Amino acid sequence: MRKTLLWLVSAVALTLHAQQFRQEFGDARKPFVETVATPDHGDSRYCPGQPATLRVVAREGGVPLDGTTIYYKVGPEMFLPARYDSTTFVGGEALLRMGTMQEPGFLACQYEFRVGGKTMKDLVKVAYAPEQIKTYTPMPKDFEAFWQKALKEARRVPLEPTYTDVPDATNEQFVTKLVRLRVGKEKWMQGYLTIPRSGSLPPGEGAGRVSFPVVLVPPGAGSQRIYPSDYFSQHGCIYLKIEIHDNDQRLSDDDYQAVRQRCDGYMSRGMASRDTYYYKDVYVGCARAVDFLCSLPEWDGRNVIVTGGSQGGALTIVTAALNEKVTLCAPFYPALCDLTGFLHHRAGGWPKFFSGFYNDGRTTVADETAVETLQYFDVVNFARVLRVPTFMSWGYSDDTCSPTSVWAAWNEIQAPKQRDVTPTSGHWRFPSSQAKCWQWMQQYLFLQPVR
């Protein structure tokens, strides 16, 4: 209690100090050091053999930097050398010669410089013939049979949903409940379910409807606590945001932190076999979460959307490929793509198996065994069997889910598809990308309920 009071006092003091500073000296409307890095090809795309140059513009308080040293290193993404090259800013500009690539892929430049006592740094990647990037993951002959059998077995188990009211996320427009589902023989998941109240939505967003499209949002990596959201419900959709490890969302922060430790290393758990790998129950469980949504009386009987980012992007593609009820697939910067890339000296997807430099990518079995298992879980193989319209968005400066691996999956999709590539974004999305995604969804939605 004493620590909490001290924290509150400190927070109030800092807030008052900031307010006094603004009254005395005014608000800064721009960063003191402004930096823009621009490749000489505006779209950051090159043909193999073409040299790339990165132009870095920097100003300190509006004054161009001059004579400041900038350090940089260039190489294939995630395979940067240890040694830095350097040059200097002249008249506020520095030109970094990145060289070229002879094969499809991504060339990365990491740079940094110090000004005003602070280190400014960034990572910029450019694409070389990305439409020609091929995956290293083969398609097992029994891939679809394996997953059809797994889903069929899971569907024999009743979902047994249990509900807990969430008053803080319930109002005159929406009802939110925490739901726990049995999605397999030994697998449970939890999620926040938000359902619009009939007739409560504004015109154009479902006003007057009594049934709604459903949206499943799988989570990103790790075992973080999830929170309710009304983004899709404001647009007239039933929305389920899930947590895949069955961590009780009602626990206090301290208790939750203790419980989630059991999830450490789940990315490699059970990798000795395709039947024991942790992600098997997760993949099938997400498909069963769609079954649950489609069992709700408020579902419109037609529209089923899956969307998420990172691991959630991977699970979006997987779920859309597994569950025949899904009608739209919208992944953002999906993980788990082209998982054996690092074995071929090329950037692979998160969790960066076989890279040797990323803790989440540690494997506990021989490489040959891991490769045999992972081909059944690599998202590129689910991308190959997608049959529904797909919107995918990603960036080039992502060093978590490499753009090389994402392009490898994208290039395998034969279903109708639309991409939104924002070269400067990393492992995140611009609000405009989310807006484009919703606009894309609207053109496919059938908003008249089945009678």
Count Cβ atoms within 10 A of the Cβ of residue 190 and give its class: 0-12 exposed, 13-18 middle, 19 or more buried.
Answer: buried
CA distance 333 to 170: 31
Strand partners, 38: 55
Of the candidates 349, 369, 373, the one whose C-alpha atom is nearest the C-alpha of residue 361 is 349
Catalytic residue selected from 211, 310, 425, 433: 310
- Catalytic residue, chosen from 378, 402, 427, 433, is 427
Other Cβ atoms closer than 10 A to 95: 14
CA distance 428 to 395: 8
Distances 65 to 92, 97, 129 between C-alpha atoms, Å: 4, 19, 34
Backbone phi and psi for residue 84, each to the nearest 5 degrees, phi listed first:
-95, 145
Identify any residues that bridge with 39 across adjacent strands, giving them in sequence order.
54
Nearest to 449 by CA among 299, 254, 276, 249: 299
Instruction: Please say if 427 is a catalytic residue.
Output: yes
- Please list, in sequence order, all residues whose beta carbon lies within 8 angstroms of the beta carbon of residue 294, skipping any fewer than 6 positions away: 214, 304, 325
Count of CB atoms situated within 10 Å of the CB of 262: 11
Q: In the annotation, is 398 catalytic?
A: yes
What is the Cα–Cα distance from 377 to 386, expressed in whole angstroms?
A: 14
Alpha-carbon span 56 to 32, nearest angstrom: 16
Structure tokens at 400: 């978590």
Confirm if 129 and 100 have CB atoms less than 8 A apart.
no
Q: What is the 3-state secondary structure (H, E, C) of 25-61?
A: HCCCCCCCEEEEEEECCCCCEECCCCCEEEEEEEEEC
- Helix (H) or strand (E) segment spanning residue 434: helix 431-444
Active-site residue (options: 398, 399, 405, 433): 398
Q: Which of 301, 327, 306 is nearest to 318 (CA)?
A: 306
User: Which CA distances in Å does 326 have to 48, 286, 287, 308?
Assistant: 38, 11, 9, 14
Conformational region of residue 338, where left means phi above 0, alpha means psi within -120 to 50, and beta covers everything else? left
Positions marked catalytic: 310, 398, 427
